[in-house]
Structure 1
Amino acid sequence: MFAKATKNFLRDIDAGGELISVSSLNDSDKTQLLSVVAKKRRFWCWQKPKYFFSSCACLLGDVLTEEGPVKPVVVESEFVKYEDKYSDTIQGNVDAEFVAIQGNVGGSEKVESQFSFGTLRKQEVDMQHLMKDVQVTESGNVKDENTVLEIPPPTAIAYSVVELYVKHDGHFEFCLLSEKQGGFEKKLSERSICTSSGFCDSRSLCDFDVVDGLRDRFAVFQELPESQREELYNLLCEVLDDGQTVAQLQTVVEEICLGSKPGLPFLSELKSPQKEHVQKILSLVGYDLHNQKPTQQCKKHLMAAFHVLTSALDEMPDTALTIFGACCKLHLLPALCALPNITSDEGLCSRTEPLLSDLIDQGTFQIVQRLFSLCNMKLEMNEKVMCAITFKDPGFLPLVLYIALSGFHALIKNLRI
């Protein structure tokens, strides 16, 4: 609940993505000025980096060997007074097949939350002073349906990171420019290779040709028995409404693929039935989470393909995940997967194209239009054509959506759902 509140808050006030939400109250205690966090290298190029606090609160001054105590100049100011209520309503007329699921003729899903963090303050380190010295919190309530989370003051709910580039001799530089990446200086003889000792094959972070490679990679889903594919698909649809569950599932899958034994602590923040959903999902793709080992039915390429799918889902905004789930219930995946293949270089396709017939209904189109918008794409339709174009500087979100669509569509291909 805390992770969901901070994540949604940052979505509204930090469109540039400069702040990182604190995922738990335990981490909030470690979030101090000049705290040292570890950056985790991710497997796929579309995954944003993750930062982790050490078990004990480690400050920059603690890792310096020859400098005296670091005394930063702190500038504190009022950040924003935040109190907002918003909702996403998803509507669309559906056929009788969907009636059995939804319970009425018109499909309607509503996501509503209310946040009140009060008057927030931010603390910033004077970087110029800090470089010479070494060569956001207030109370609030979060309402989600009938649940209220009270966050006591002072609690850190977000932080920003300045990466360090550490040289061989122990000196380091602050990476103040966006193009400057942190890390450790490597010798010329060293080769940077991304390897994994688990289920994933070794490859560079950026050399995966998704458009050409997805069909072959997700073809392994077709090898599963139909009943198993259908169950896996339905369980994944269930967890799409909860971004935290998706994030925890992806974390476990990534650890498995990198050869670690994740165990149950990764799911400690999840409650039933979400925890049971995750355990069942993992068992369907060949991993016994309780005993921390692959099952007899486990296939290396199946887990690797599932890793690609969950990594994409984890990168989608929570609202986009919810709307993506609605598209699944409305049986729109075949049309959505066909759209990129029949669109011209100018982003146009005929409105009369039979493969797109399920998208023509105005209510349905608005749902898909909202999904595309949340993934940095613009979808429009007039009397003759449908037009899809990406926003300026869209990042990886259009690619992430394409991966998610391809993976889910591969699960239900040739099934009667």
Structure 2
Amino acid sequence: MFATATRNFVEEVDHGGLLIPVSSLNDSIDLLTVVVTQKRFWFWQKPKHLRTDFSLNDILTGDTPIKPVVIETDFIKYDGTYGDNIQGTMDASFVLSNVTVEGKDSSKLQSSFGSLKKEEVDVQKLLRDSKGRVLDMSHSLVQQTKEKHRRIFGIVKERVMTTQPCSVIEEVQQGGQCGGRLSICRPKNPKVALKENGSLSKDTDVTMEIPIHTTLAYALIELEVKHDGHYELCLMSDTAGGFEVDGPGMKPLLGVSGASENSCIRQELEQLSDHFQLLSALPASTRSSLLQQITKVMEDQTAVSALQNLLDQMCLDKSPTLGDVMMTESQKQNIQAILGLLEQKVDSAQTKHSTSVLSALHLITSALDEMTYDCLAVLVMCCSPKVLKALELLVQCLAGSGELPVSSAGLAALTEDVYVKAEHLFASSNVSLKRDRDTVKTKINHQPGHLPLVVCIAVRGLASLAH
């Protein structure tokens, strides 16, 4: 809840900028706090930031601490409300039953942060004070960070804080009706049966009180660390920090930086085509279950991030643990269901094949995790097989000539209502979608970031499960 609120806040006030949302109320972020930045697997992913319990002075040699000059200014007054309404009806026929399910979900997240202030370090003075200073290369934090690949030291140079007690309020209403008879069986779980004319409704209201002087977002300045511990501040946005290494440097991350043009998106999708084909080749029941569970997880941005982090751990051959993530019990069950499907080896004799399925799902969730709140909310409403097929054609259009006849096979699902959703989905990803008589046109709007590529990967991945 808090993580979603701060993420929405940063998207609104500093989209594509330097501010990093604080993900937990437990994180204490002060000026000059050392934050370890971890570059991710896919080049278009935002880096992960790991707060430490140390400040820059804690890892410096010498007895003279750096005392920064702090500039304090009023920032903005912020009150934001985010919400969505989802309605749908599904008719399904099974061997032993027929079922009609009607559902209606609505959620609202209200963030009343009030008047905010910003604290900034005087970088010019920090630059002078850092001249000649040396990091203690024997410090445990320095040693452990240096040993990890793609990890960089950064220090907090500015932060946005609350100036008064404030709150985050989440309201969720869920309701559904079921006609016919539907039975759901899962291993190690009791059998659940919704019988004729059954109904279910659930309302949840949660209020989180945020204390004064809580940091909501912060910005970093990275350090370029030499062998002997001398360091330089990376003052330019195109200058990356890191540790000086012996021999060849780190291998570049997968992908081509700056993939924002149609041709670059096409090249990236072609490089990832094996992942999509692998998902399409899964048994129909497995694909259907994965799409259903992933769609449920997509209803909560925090759950998407949690699933992506778990798949991160599995890709590194670690045992996945949810940790202290704040989620509903139903979302935890959805994530466990996805992990359970992964553990049921598609072919127990082909470990490499199962590992590839993990990589393919990791690709999809990584893209979903990069999406904005609006983009993700709209995509959830487009997760029926027919609509995903139509969206996939629009993605091919975007990666190709940018034009597609309305009469194209597969675009029949693009009704007026669906078209409005598709238009909003692409607009939230810096892509314009327009109908010009008998032609649909797509055009990339030049903005910072990789949102056009991210939405293409997400749509292609989900459509692969819907084939």
Normalized against structure 1, the TM-score is what?
Answer: 0.85
Residue of structure 1 equivalent to 2:438: 384
Residue of structure 2 equivalent to 1:228: 286
Instruction: Describe the superposition over 1:67-93 as per-residue Cα deviations: whole angstroms up to 9, x where unpaired.
Output: 6111110111111111233545678x9
* Correspondence list, 1:92-107, <5 A: 100-102=100-102
Pairing partner for 2:303 from 242, 245, 252: 245
Instruction: Please provide the CA RMSD for this pair.
Output: 2.7
In 2, are the aligned partners of 1:220 and 1:302 still within 8 Å (CA)?
yes
* In 1, Cα distance between equivalents of 2:272 and 2:460: 7
Residue of structure 1 equivalent to 2:227: 168
In 1, are the aligned partners of 2:79 and 2:112 still within 8 Å (CA)?
yes
Alpha-carbon offset, residue 207 of structure 1: 5.9
Counting aligned pairs with the same residue, the percent is: 37
Pairing partner for 1:68 from 64, 69, 74: 64
Letter of the 2:216 partner, please give it: I
Alpha-carbon offset, residue 16 of structure 1: 3.5
Pairing partner for 1:205 from 247, 254, 277: 254
Residue of structure 1 equivalent to 2:3: 3
Instruction: Describe the superposition over 1:368-388 as per-residue Cα deviations: whole angstroms up to 9, x where unpaired.
Output: 100001111011113222110
* Correspondence list, 1:83-98, <5 A: 83-88=79-84
* In 2, Cα distance between equivalents of 1:281 and 1:90: 22
* In 1, Cα distance between equivalents of 2:226 and 2:326: 38
Residue of structure 2 equivalent to 1:291: none
Pairing partner for 2:369 from 310, 314, 318: 314
Alpha-carbon offset, residue 213 of structure 1: 3.0
* In 1, Cα distance between equivalents of 2:349 and 2:333: 20
Pairing partner for 2:340 from 270, 276, 283: 283
* In 2, Cα distance between equivalents of 1:120 and 1:394: 26
Alpha-carbon offset, residue 110 of structure 1: 5.2
Alpha-carbon offset, residue 243 of structure 1: 0.5
SS in 1 for 2:295: helix
Residue of structure 2 equivalent to 1:41: 39
SS in 1 for 2:113: strand
Instruction: Describe the superposition over 1:259-295 as per-residue Cα deviations: whole angstroms up to 9, x where unpaired.
Output: 2233342x5422301111111101111289xxxxxx8
Normalized against structure 2, the TM-score is what?
Answer: 0.76
In 2, are the aligned partners of 1:88 and 1:112 still within 8 Å (CA)?
yes
In 1, are the aligned partners of 2:32 and 2:56 still within 8 Å (CA)?
yes
Alpha-carbon offset, residue 227 of structure 1: 1.8
Alpha-carbon offset, residue 248 of structure 1: 0.7
Instruction: Describe the superposition over 1:207-258 as per-residue Cα deviations: whole angstroms up to 9, x where unpaired.
Output: 6953213332222224433222211110101011101000010011011102
Shift in CA distance, 249/10, structure 1 to aligned 2, threshold 3 Å: same
Residue of structure 2 equivalent to 1:181: 240
Shift in CA distance, 94/259, structure 1 to aligned 2, threshold 3 Å: closer
1:214 aligns with 2:283: no
Shift in CA distance, 148/403, structure 1 to aligned 2, threshold 3 Å: same
1:261 aligns with 2:286: no
Pairing partner for 1:137 from 162, 165, 178: 162
* In 1, Cα distance between equivalents of 2:344 and 2:54: 35
In 2, are the aligned partners of 1:166 and 1:183 still within 8 Å (CA)?
yes
SS in 1 for 2:71: strand
Shift in CA distance, 344/221, structure 1 to aligned 2, threshold 3 Å: closer
Query: Comparing both structures, which one devotes a greater share of its residues to helix?
Result: 1
Shift in CA distance, 317/25, structure 1 to aligned 2, threshold 3 Å: same
Number of equivalences: 386
SS in 1 for 2:118: strand
Instruction: Provide structure 2 residue ranges, at least 5 long, that are not aligned to the other structure.
Output: 93-98, 132-160, 172-204, 258-266
1:409 aligns with 2:409: no
* In 2, Cα distance between equivalents of 1:3 and 1:344: 33
* In 1, Cα distance between equivalents of 2:322 and 2:398: 44
* Correspondence list, 1:357-396, <5 A: 357-359=412-414, 361-393=415-447, 395-396=449-450
